[in-house]
Amino acid sequence: MSAHFPYSQACENNKAPILERLREIFDTPGRVLEVGTGTGQHAVHFAQAMPHLQWQPTDHPHAVDTCRPRLAHAALPNILPALELDVATSPWPVESFTWAFSANTAHIMAWEEVEQMFRNIGERLPKDGAFCLYGPFNYQGRYTSESNRQFDQHLKANAAHMGIRDMEDIRTLAEGVGLTLSEDHTMPANNRLLVFRKHS
């Protein structure tokens, strides 16, 4: 991909392993809400590989322009125009979707914003849908690697509201908004893919 678009090396590295999982989970036609699209590398890669999906990129109003040049260049028929979405602001500009995806956002958002993300997705996700949340997580208060410990310290030094979340806190939050953690996949580079579905 041309170097003049905003670029993330991490996205380049993780997009293939994430796609392998999403193919199994987003297995029927539907609209995917992406929260925190960032550079748009994930949106382009996943929409191209899964033409049965309609990909809805969104990002915080301060950040949404980051993805637009790449998405315009890709010009894929199944990527919708990127929308401004601050998870903490009501009402959300997207009412319905079958699937939801967000990568590397839970440790960047304040915890109250993570709560809002889950609450709003929980309200809108249909029974047969799923919400996939990718990123680093702690387990029972413990880091899963030294690099994650260093990353967490770096985040907290930059802004006190950021930090790697405990999977158990996320699972409890999800339970409270009608979502069950149905899968927890180990991913490369000490990341996870958490999959949430509506309570049956």
Ligand X SMILES: C[S@@+](CC[C@H](N)C(=O)[O-])C[C@H]1O[C@@H](n2cnc3c(N)ncnc32)[C@H](O)[C@@H]1O
CA 32 → CA 3, 137, 149, 154, distances in Å? Answer: 27, 23, 32, 31
CA 133 → CA 1, 8, 18, distances in Å? Answer: 25, 18, 10
> Is residue 88 at the binding interface for ligand X, with CB under 6 A as the rule?
yes
Specify the stretch interacting with ligand X by CB under 6 A; choose among 83-91, 92-100, 147-155, 158-166.
83-91
Q: To which H or E segment does residue 147 belong?
A: helix 146-158
> Is residue 103 at the binding interface for ligand X, with CB under 6 A as the rule?
yes
The SS3 call for residue 32 is: strand
Which one of 18, 59, 71, 80 is in contact with ligand X (CB under 6 A)?
A: 59
> Is residue 104 at the binding interface for ligand X, with CB under 6 A as the rule?
yes
Specify the stretch interacting with ligand X by CB under 6 A; choose among 18-26, 32-40, 68-76, 144-152.
32-40
The SS3 call for residue 119 is: helix
Is the separation of the CB atoms in 45 and 53 below 8 Å?
no
Is the separation of the CB atoms in 110 and 165 below 8 Å?
no
Q: Which of 65, 100, 84 is nearest to 177 (CA)?
A: 100
Nearer to ligand X among residue 154 and residue 199 (C-beta): 154
> Is residue 87 at the binding interface for ligand X, with CB under 6 A as the rule?
yes
> Is residue 63 at the binding interface for ligand X, with CB under 6 A as the rule?
yes
Which one of 33, 50, 54, 60 is in contact with ligand X (CB under 6 A)?
A: 60
Is the separation of the CB atoms in 163 and 156 below 8 Å?
yes
Each residue 128-167 as x (binds ligand X by CB under 6 A) or -, in order, gives ----------------------------------------
> Is residue 113 at the binding interface for ligand X, with CB under 6 A as the rule?
yes
> Is residue 105 at the binding interface for ligand X, with CB under 6 A as the rule?
yes
Specify the stretch interacting with ligand X by CB under 6 A; choose among 17-25, 80-88, 90-98, 183-191.
80-88
> Is residue 85 at the binding interface for ligand X, with CB under 6 A as the rule?
yes
Give the contacts of 75 (CB within 8 A, at least 6 positions apart). none
Which spans of this chain sit near ligand X (rule: CB under 6 A)? Answer: 8, 11, 35-36, 38, 59-60, 63, 85-88, 103-105, 108-109, 113
